[in-house]
Amino acid sequence: MDFEVLVRTNVTWILALANVILKDHAKAEDAAQLAFLKIHKGLDQFEGRSSMKTWMYRIVVNEALMIRRKDKSREESLIDAMLPRFDKNGCRFAEETINRETGETILSKKQQQDEVQRLILALPDQYRIVLYLRDIEEMTTAQVATVLDISEANVKVRLHRARAALKKSLGPFLAGGKF
Amino acid sequence: MTAKVGSIRRVLNGILFKLPGMITCAQFEDFIVAYLDGELTKEELRIFRRHLLVCRDCKRYLADYERAMKCVKDMSDEIKSDLADVPEDLVRAVLAARQK
C-alpha cells in the first residue's frame, strides 16, 4: 500500500488513541508522527505474526507510553476506592449514591458525552487504555493482550476494574436517570 | 433502620451463598466480564443467574454496570462519527519527516 494512503487511512484512529493515552493533543501528534515513522521503517519487515492493524496499535501504544513516562508531572489516581466492597462473607456492600446537586436539569447529549469522556480520561493509565481498546476500539481480549503484551486474564481484570470504577463515577447520573 | 435491614440481609445472604450451587457476591463479580462476553459454560451461567435471582444488590449492580457500558458505547459512536476529518497538517508533517 502506498505510504500516503496508509497515513490517510489510519491517522484519525492513531491520533485518537494517542490522545487517550497522553491526554494532550500536541504530545499525541508527536506520538502519532513517531509511530508512523516506525510503521514506515517496519513495513518491509512486518512478518504478519499478528494482523497489520494489531501491529500498528502496538507501535502507537508503545510510542505514546514512552512519551507519557517522560512526563514528570503526570499523576496517577488510585482506583481501589472506586471498586465494589464485600464483607467477610463475600456479600456486596451496596454502593451509596452521592447526590452532587439537586434540581439539576437533564444533561444534553453533548454534556453526557463530555462527562463520560472526562471520567474515562480520569482513570489510571493501565485501566483507561484497556477500556479504550476493548470498549471503544472494540478489539478482542486476545488482540488487547497482544498489543499491551500482557495476559488475557490481566486484560479481563483491568477491563472489569475500569468499568466498575466508571460505573461508580457515573453513579449519580445513572441513579438520577440523567443518562 | 435501613442500614440495620441491609446488615440483616447480608448476614442471611452470607448463609444462603454458602449452600451448594451458590456463589458469593465477590465470586459473582469475577464472572461479570465472562458473562457479558458470552464465555460462561452452561453450568457457570446457571450459577450466575441463580445468584442474580436471590441477590438484589448484585442485580442492581449489574444493571448499572451495563448502563455505564452503554454510556461508553453511545459516546464512542458519537466520537467515531466526529473523526471523519483527516488532520492535513499532521499528514503533511509525517510525509515530510519520512523523507528526511
Range(s) of the domain holding residue A52: 3-70
Statement to judge: residues A64 and A87 lie in one domain: no
Q: What is the pLDDT of residue B12?
A: 82
User: Is residue A127 a part of any domain in this protein?
Assistant: yes
Question: Minimum mean pLDDT among A5-19, A149-163, B5-19, B41-55: which range?
Answer: B5-19
Nearest CA in chain A to B23: A90
**How many CA atoms, within 13 angstroms, populate the side-chain half-sphere of residue A16?**
18
Summarize pLDDT for B14-58 with one digit per residue, the tens.
Answer: 888 888 889 999 999 999 999 999 999 999 999 999 999 999 999
- Does A92 contact B26 at a Cβ distance shorter than 8 Å? yes
Statement to judge: residues A156 and A94 lie in one domain: yes
> How far apart are alpha carbons B51 and B19 in whole angstroms?
11
User: Is residue A23 a part of any domain in this protein?
Assistant: yes
Q: What is the pLDDT of residue B87?
A: 87
User: Is residue A75 a part of any domain in this protein?
Assistant: no
Statement to judge: residues A106 and A39 lie in one domain: no
Contact B22, B51 (CB under 8 A): yes
Statement to judge: residues A58 and A111 lie in one domain: no
**Cα B42 vs. chain centroid, distance in angstroms?**
20
What's the structural domain count of chain A? 2
**Average confidence (pLDDT) over A38-58:** 85
- Does A116 contact B72 at a Cβ distance shorter than 8 Å? yes
Three-class secondary structure of residue A87 per DSSP: coil
What type of residue sits at position A25? Answer: H
Q: Which residue has the higher pLDDT, B22 or A155?
A: A155
Name which of A11, A16, A113 is nearest B91 (Cβ-Cβ): A11
> How far apart are alpha carbons B77 and A137 in whole angstroms?
10
* CATH number for the domain harbouring residue A100: 1.10.10.10
Which residues contact residue A82 at a Cβ distance below 8 angstroms, ignoring those fewer than 6 apart? Answer: A164, A165, A168, A169
Burial of A100 (0-12, 13-18, 19+ CB in 10 A): exposed
> DSSP letter at B41?
-
Summarize pLDDT for A50-59 with one digit per residue, the tens.
Answer: 788 999 999 9
Statement to judge: residues A7 and A33 lie in one domain: yes
> How far apart are alpha carbons B7 and B11 in whole angstroms?
6
ipTM of the complex: 0.85
Statement to judge: residues A43 and A66 lie in one domain: yes
